[in-house]
Amino acid sequence: MHRNLALELLKNYSSVDPYEQEDLQKMLDFIAKELNCFDNSCESGHFTGSCWLESFDGKAALLTHHKKYGEWFQLGGHADGNPDLLSVALREAREESGFSKIELVQAGIFDIGVHPNLPEDKGFPVHYHYDVRFYLRAAKDEPFIVSEESFSLKWIYKNEEDKIPNNYDVKRMFKKWKNMQP
């Protein structure tokens, strides 16, 4: 079945964060209920793949100022029917950063979140994004390139917690990343 890879990733993920625990159950319920859960055409919602993308030296993480939402987020996007959410996250990281080579830092899921896609988009009513996030790294030092989906990109360093946007999920990912062993 096309969902087995994502289902296995989700079943192997655990978190002490109560919001993530709640979102994990929502994701498991959604993937069991919706046959086309990876397709953008699924009107109730769909899976997305994103990442916490750190610099090649591990000192900073790249955030995007998203045009559609007007806020700073991790890089990522729609699965577009692809159930391999890691490959989705890698594709989106390359597209949104312009980096030629990106590597996986940690096997498995780094973070998850379920959030409404607001406002109504392309004729779809408000629906949910079931976002599965991976921990990735730029494989070499190269300048980023701002994509058409972003106003801007910026590096946030581990000592710049005060510069993290007021977004619970981004703050949680920053704290996870900051507390990881080098």
For residue range 54-103, list pLDDT tens digits in order: 999 999 999 999 887 788 999 999 999 999 999 999 999 999 999 999 99
Task: Give mean pLDDT, residues 42-52.
Answer: 94
For range 139-154, the mean pLDDT:
91
Q: How confident is the model at residue 117 (pLDDT cuts 50, 70, 90)?
A: confident
At the fourth CATH level, which superfamily is domain 4-178? Nucleoside Triphosphate Pyrophosphohydrolase (3.90.79.10)
**pLDDT reading at 129 higher than 80:** yes
Map residue 74 onto helix, strand or coil: coil
Cβ neighbors of 133 (< 8 A, separation 6 or more) are: 49, 50, 51, 52, 74, 76, 89, 109, 110, 111, 112, 113, 173
Per-domain residue ranges of the chain: 4-178
Residue pair 150/52 in contact (Cβ under 8 Å)? The answer is no
Q: How far apart are CA 164 and CA 177, in angstroms?
A: 13
Q: Is residue 5 within 8 Å of residue 49, measured between CB atoms?
A: no
| Summary mean pLDDT of the chain | 92
Q: What is the pLDDT of residue 124?
A: 64
Assess contact for 177 and 170: CB atoms under 8 A.
no
Print burial letters for 161-173: b (CB count within 10 Å at least 16), e (below 16): eeebeebebbebb
